[in-house]
Structure 1
Amino acid sequence: MASQDSSQAYYLAQINIALMKAPLHDPIMAEFANALNAVNAIADQSQGFVWRLKDGDGNATNIRAFDDPQILVNLSVWQNVESLKTYVYQSLHGSFFVRRRAWFEKYPGAHFAMWWIPAGHIPSIEEAKAKLDHLWQHGDSETAFTFAKPHPQPIVSHY
């Protein structure tokens, strides 16, 4: 985990999934695949970054969270919504995000969800998938939400 603000009781977890148009080694995916290390390095160095799911290669492309091997999963933890939003839209990630249809099909269900977790908790893939399912079934709520309707960080009572 990146350095943490010990006064912060909750962090923001996020999952996003993407349905690849072809296997990662296919030429159609080359530009995306070749940029993964750089995009991940920016995440790791971004203000507010805490943790991300990765395998021995430093990314999560070999982690199969779904039965369909064409689905990539990204799971990470951030100090707040603003830090994640800055990374997603205002870093190198953003230039790939706007061109995502070059590499990914439109996913038929919820493909992105955020939720608050206690500081120090590492979300599991199962937990993250449950948040996606909840969002798909119920829409934005305290349980799972999107950038369109973010829910505030829980308030810690010190009684």
Structure 2
Amino acid sequence: MGNFELAQVNISRMKAPLDDESFRGFVEALEPVNAIADRAPGFVWRLQTEDGDATSIRAFEWDVRGTSGILVNMSVWTSVEALAAFAFSGEHLAILRRRREWFHHVREAMTVLWWVPAGHRPTTAEAEEKIKHLRVHGPTPEAFTLKQHFSPAADAREGEPGWLCPA
């Protein structure tokens, strides 16, 4: 997208602490799946600590709601298509299909996408604002979803069903 890159964050309310036996399958898959993401076409960056651990990142604490905590995954990609190609294929898809084993099913938005200037690395505070915006306003050019996404220079009508062809 030239001057823009796609930021995404997804958060999950955990059913148990990460060191619980019930999370073993998820924890064992983290490193291999992250390595695949790191090599995926269109991958730019992902949030992690200096020692490479994303699971110790604390954010979205306001959204815990009596669960065992929030797991945060935030990354930057070159395009919506690149993110979708990774997210819905291979090992990541296999883990995604098992998510109910480890994470609570929720109705509100837990994943949000937004465009950032190329080279910008979003903060967790920025991501929290984007999730809140999506939950209040639904998909807009400022905060959107894979299902209803916008281009970096989105017209206000883009993303609405039938905006290209009202017939």
Q: What TM-score do you get using the length of structure 1 for normalisation?
A: 0.89
Identity, % of aligned pairs? Answer: 46
1:55 shift after superposition:
1.4
Letter in 2 for 1:140: P
* Aligned positions of 1:116-131 closer than 5 A: 116-131=115-130
1:108 shift after superposition:
4.7
Which residue of 2 is the match for residue 100 of structure 1? 99
Report Cα offsets for 1:65-111 as digits up to 9, x if no partner: 03246100011000000000011001311111011001100235320
* Aligned positions of 1:1-159 closer than 5 A: 8-67=2-61, 68=64, 70-154=69-153
Q: Distance in 2 between matches of 1:17 and 1:57?
A: 21
Which residue of 2 is the match for residue 4 of structure 1? none
Q: What runs of 5+ residues in structure 1 fail to find an aligned partner? A: 1-6
Q: Distance in 2 between matches of 1:59 and 1:99?
A: 21
Q: Distance in 2 between matches of 1:29 and 1:105?
A: 13
Whether the aligned pair in 2 keeps the contact of 1:15 and 1:128 (CA below 8 Å) is: yes
Whether the aligned pair in 1 keeps the contact of 2:57 and 2:72 (CA below 8 Å) is: yes
Letter in 2 for 1:145: F
Q: Distance in 2 between matches of 1:108 and 1:18?
A: 12
Q: Distance in 2 between matches of 1:123 and 1:91?
A: 26
Letter in 2 for 1:116: W
1:23 shift after superposition:
0.2
List, as ranges, runs of 4+ consecutive aligned residues in structure 1 with deviation greater than 2 Å: 66-69
Q: Distance in 1 between matches of 2:77 and 2:23?
A: 27
Question: Number of matched residues?
Answer: 149
